[in-house]
């Protein structure tokens, strides 16, 4: 519950900063693809054991507020985390995410630190012998993000991003799930 309150505040602050002040500057767009390395929270759901845990497709826009001094990024992502079958049971998680990030260029380098929050919608697919259930998790779920981008060229960058999100409880409302993952990928800027 405490995590939800902190993430909710972070999400609202980052999204309000980007959405409310975004009209002041010209925006540029980007499209990205990342491979996902599941951390314990996501592994608990999908039963993945290795480094591969799915992928993320993302569209975003960047701009500046405050007279061009505060860069931000707003994005929308599709996340696909396929489950590994264990004892004829398989759970797959798919989600849509809207995120807002504040960008901090690191000195004169081509590195940029990003910190932000996200609003997430999830669909959980559960399969076992004789039973198949797909449920959309009710309500908006919050998340936090921390990343590092490296600008290879004006049109291309690579990134590493840590994501912590909330999902909810299992079908019996016994265990709470908070998927987390590290994603590594690239973005094309247009």
pLDDT one digit per residue (tens) for the chain, 190 residues? 444 555 455 444 544 444 444 444 455 899 999 999 999 999 999 988 888 889 999 999 999 887 778 899 999 999 999 999 899 989 999 999 999 999 999 988 899 999 999 999 999 898 988 888 888 888 899 999 999 999 999 999 999 999 999 998 666 666 778 999 999 999 999 9
Contact 146, 187 (CB under 8 A): no
pLDDT digits (tens, 9 = 90+) for 134-145: 888 888 999 999
Question: What are phi and psi for residue 55, nearest 5 degrees?
Answer: -150, 165
**pLDDT the model gives residue 175:** 72
* 76 half-sphere exposure, CB direction, 13 A CA radius: 1
**pLDDT the model gives residue 173:** 63
Nearest CA to 163 among 116, 113, 107? Answer: 116
CB neighbour list of residue 18: distance below 8 Å, 6 or more residues apart: 63, 65, 72, 73, 74, 100, 101
Q: In the 8-state DSSP scheme, what is residue 190?
A: -
**pLDDT the model gives residue 162:** 98
**pLDDT the model gives residue 36:** 97
pTM recorded for the entire structure: 0.81
**pLDDT the model gives residue 42:** 93
Would you list the domain boundaries of the chain?
Answer: 2-19+29-189
Query: What fold is seen in the domain 2-19+29-189?
Result: Porin (2.40.160)
How far apart CA 103 and CA 149 sit, in angstroms, is 10
Q: Which helix or strand (DSSP H or E) is residue 125 part of?
A: strand 111-128
How far apart CA 63 and CA 27 sit, in angstroms, is 5
**pLDDT the model gives residue 68:** 78
């Amino acid at each position: 519950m405490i995590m939800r309150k902190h993430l909710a505040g972070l999400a609202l602050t980052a999204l309000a900063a980007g959405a409310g002040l975004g009209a002041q500057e010209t925006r540029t767009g980007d499209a990205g693809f990342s491979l996902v390395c599941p951390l314990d929270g996501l592994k608990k759901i999908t039963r993945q054991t290795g480094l591969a845990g799915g992928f993320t497709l993302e569209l975003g826009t960047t701009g500046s507020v405050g007279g061009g001094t505060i860069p931000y990024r707003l994005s929308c992502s599709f996340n696909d985390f396929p489950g590994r079958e264990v004892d004829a049971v398989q759970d797959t998680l798919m989600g849509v995410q809207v995120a807002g990030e504040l960008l901090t260029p690191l000195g004169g380098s081509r590195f940029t630190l990003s910190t932000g929050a996200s609003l997430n919608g999830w669909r959980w697919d559960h399969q076992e012998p004789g039973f198949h259930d797909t449920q959309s998790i009710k309500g908006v779920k919050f998340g936090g993000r921390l990343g590092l981008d490296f600008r290879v060229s004006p049109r291309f960058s690579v990134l590493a991003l840590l994501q912590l999100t909330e999902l909810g409880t299992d079908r019996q409302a016994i265990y709470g799930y908070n998927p987390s993952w590290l994603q590594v990928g690239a973005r094309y800027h247009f």
